[in-house]
Amino acid sequence: MEIPYTVRPRPDTGLANPKLGIWLFIASEVMLFGGLFAGYIFMRLGAEPWMWPHGWLNVPVGTFNTFILIASSVTVILAWESLKMRNFKAYKWWLFATWACGLAFLGVKLGVEWPAKFNHFGAYVKKEAAAKYEAYLGNEDATDEHGKVTEEGYRSRKGYPRLFISGHPKAWKDVTDPKVDKIVLSGVDEENHTPRSAEHDRAHFITRDPVHLHEGHEVVLDKKDLIYGYGPFYPKLNTYLACYFMITGLHGLHVLGGVIVFLFFWGPGAKLYKTNPEQLCNRIEVAGLFWHLVDLIWIFVFPIFYLL
């Protein structure tokens, strides 16, 4: 029993089954990511200005990942084209390039970008306690010559708990253990310390080099001064990170799915070339359509998280 139109298109509809199927699947995926992006928009519009950070992601690394994903979209077309021209050797090379790019993307994501978030400590300081920490940070604009927060300096924060402190805790155990009520930071990221500038009016990385405080000048954070959610840059730190991990995570799963499919057609699945090259060609086309969707989603993900 053979299902008709698995390879050649049905004359009156002009479509082969798999192609119609993948387009429907893509439509559904668009709705799925549409829902996620709708979530992002809701979160961003609803966030207090100081809660929506900027510059937390490494733009050069993200650009590199964007580049290799776009490159893999090109190579998958070249693989398909080689197959159409019955050039099996070229097909193998181009498909190899495709899944290698996919793996590289995942490698950067899981090996560089995500771990960087997990090794970092971040906390929002409560409004009433913010003044306590300005002095620690050597914030000249907010403090007077004795290191005390001035009236003017404090007012410039407009009463919001805009102060965000991030850095390297001396011991992670202090962060996670609910019985310990103080966290000692030995290095602090230099960031939104200057309250004057509206541009930097939110948690914002200026530089990625942590400021190593002089010995004996550690910042001691009292847990009760912090807004809940302090800790590594996990989804619970704020809704920006929640959106970031959810969307890039689901996108990463799609990349992984694509890589597995390409690995199959590069390895055991390629045997189909001997019996039915046209069908293999169709399969690469369909997988390629999915891969383009994955690429397209990233084209949206990159600006909304890295640049905007």
Residue 46 CB, nearest approach to another protein (Å): 5
- In the complex, the smallest distance separating the C-beta of residue 266 from another protein, rounded to whole angstroms, is 21
E strand or H helix at 228 = none
Yes or no: say if 166 and 188 are a contact pair by the CB < 8 Å rule.
Answer: yes
d(CA 61, CA 166): 21
Tokens 């509206």 found at: 198
**Which tokens belong to 195?**
């309250």
For the bound state, the minimum distance from the C-beta of residue 300 to another protein, rounded and expressed in Å, comes to 14
Greatest Cα pair distance, the chain, in angstroms, is 87
Residues in contact with another protein by CB under 8 A are 1-6, 8, 10-13, 15, 17, 20-21, 24-25, 27-29, 31-36, 38-39, 42-43, 46-48, 51, 178, 227-229, 234-239, 241-242, 245-246, 250
CB 48 within 8 A of CB 160: yes
For residue 223, give the DSSP letter. G
Kindly tell me which of 39 and 138 has the beta carbon lying closer to another protein: 39
Kindly tell me which of 92 and 283 has the beta carbon lying closer to another protein: 283
The minimum distance between CB 227 and another protein, in angstroms, equals: 7
Q: Least Å distance between CB 141 and another protein? A: 27
Nearest-approach distance from CB 124 to another protein, in angstroms: 8
Nearer Cβ to another protein (1/308):
1
- Rounded to a whole number of angstroms, the minimum distance from the CB of residue 262 to another protein is 19
Closest CA to 120 of 163, 57, 167, 51: 167
How distant, in Å, are the alpha carbons of 95, 127, 134, 291 from that of 50? 45, 12, 16, 37
DSSP letters spanning 139-185: -TTTB-TTSPBPHHHHHTTTTS---EEEEEES-HHHHH-TT--EEEE
For another protein, give the closer residue by CB, 45 or 151.
45
Comparing CB distances to another protein, the nearer of 124 and 133 is 124
* DSSP 8-state class, residue 57: S
Q: Which is nearer to another protein, 43 or 103 (CB)?
A: 43
Q: Which is nearer to another protein, 149 or 301 (CB)?
A: 301
